[in-house]
A and B are shown apart, each in its own frame.
Chain A
Amino acid sequence: MKNDVRERRTAHGLAQGELAHALAVSRQTINSIETGRYTPSLPLAIAIAHFFGTTVEEIFHADHVEE
């Protein structure tokens, strides 16, 4: 699943560790999400979306869903 977490994080001037701290997860998890190696749970996806003031579907893009 592709996502825009890295783009939004850098746009906010945040390091991975800072975003990880804000979301109460590890820096490794943020890195894994950004590189697409880990798909977060729905609660974490919602927390990420809330953090950036947007919706889950604006950040996460399912590969099989046509837009």
Chain B
Amino acid sequence: MQTTSRNNRQYWGTLALGAGIGVVYLVGFVIGGKPLDGVVSLAIMVGFTGGVALIARRSETVRGLLDHRDERISGIDLRATAVTALAMIAVVLVGFVVDIARGGSGWPWYLIGAVGGLAYIAAVTIFRVRG
């Protein structure tokens, strides 16, 4: 089991990550010449993160997803992530097939698929070595 301070760091770290992604969106839109869209994206991410933080004050499940204090909720998070990955794999495969059927090269679907496949192989290798 983990310490409370570490759990708090994970809790705030997860929330900060959400807001940080919004800042990255903002920078991307500013570079692309659409600063207003960037501000809207940042506001959406900050709003979403704030909403999650508020819900976490009342929901053990949401808080557990943020701070990983509870092993059962962490297990649920892991399985939900695996289901999400399967859904994303299905989308990438369908996107690739549709693109090549239309005469395209499969870009960027094959690149996403390759990154996913390599990430899976690397993860299996690392986790196997670590026991």
Contact = CB atoms under 8 A, between A and B. Distances in A.
B72 A26 contact: yes
Contacts of A41: 71
B1 A29 contact: no
B61 A25 contact: no
B119 to A, nearest CB: 26
Contacts of B4: 24
Query: Residue among B2, B61, B70 with the most chain A CB within 10 A?
Result: B70
Size range of the chain A interface in the assembly: 10 to 19
A32 B1 CA distance: 18
Interface in A7-31: 23-29
Contact of B72 (A24, A38, A43): A38
Interface of B: 1-2, 4, 60-61, 63-64, 69-73
27 contacts: A23-B1, A24-B1, A24-B4, A24-B69, A25-B69, A25-B70, A26-B60, A26-B61, A26-B64, A26-B69, A26-B70, A26-B73, A27-B60, A28-B60, A28-B61, A28-B70, A28-B72, A29-B70, A29-B72, A29-B73, A32-B72, A38-B72, A40-B71, A40-B72, A41-B71, A44-B1, A47-B1
